[in-house]
Amino acid sequence: MPSEADSLVAALRGTAPIFSFEFFPPKDDEGEAILWQTIADLEPLQPTFVSVTYGAGGTSQERTVRITSRIAEQTAMRPVGHLTLVSQTKGEIESVLKQYAAAGVDHVLALRGDPKGGPRAPWESHPDGMTHAIDLVELASGLGGFRIGVAAFPEGHPDAQSLQHDAEVLVAKAQAGAEFAITQLFFRAADYFSLVERVRALGSDIPIIPGIMPILNFAQVARMAELSGAELPREVLDEVEPIQDDKDAVRAKGIELATKLCRDLLAGGAPGLHFITLNRSKATREIFEALRATGDL
**Alpha helices (H) in 111-161, listed in sequence order:** 133-143
Contact in structure between 156 and 229 (CB atoms under 8 Å): yes
Nearest-CA neighbor of 276 among 250, 290, 258? 258
Please tell me which residue in 4, 22, 73, 241 is annotated as part of the active site.
22
Give the C-alpha separation, 87 to 285, whole Å.
Answer: 36
Please report how the helices 61-74 and 29-42 are oriented relative to each other, as an axis angle in degrees rounded to 10: 30
Dihedral of the CA atoms 78, 216, 236, 161 (nearest 10)?
A: -50
Give the C-alpha separation, 96 to 101, whole Å.
Answer: 9
CA geometry: angle at 190 spanning 262 and 228, to 5°? 80
* Catalytic annotation present for 43: no
Longest distance between any two alpha carbons in the chain, whole Å = 52
* Beta carbons within 10 angstroms of residue 126's beta carbon: 16
Dihedral of the CA atoms 10, 174, 58, 92 (nearest 10)?
A: 90
Contact in structure between 212 and 258 (CB atoms under 8 Å): yes
Give residues with Cβ within 8 angstroms of 236, minimum separation 6.
Answer: 187, 215, 257
Give the C-alpha separation, 164 to 198, whole Å.
Answer: 7
User: Any idea which residues carry the catalytic annotation?
Assistant: 22
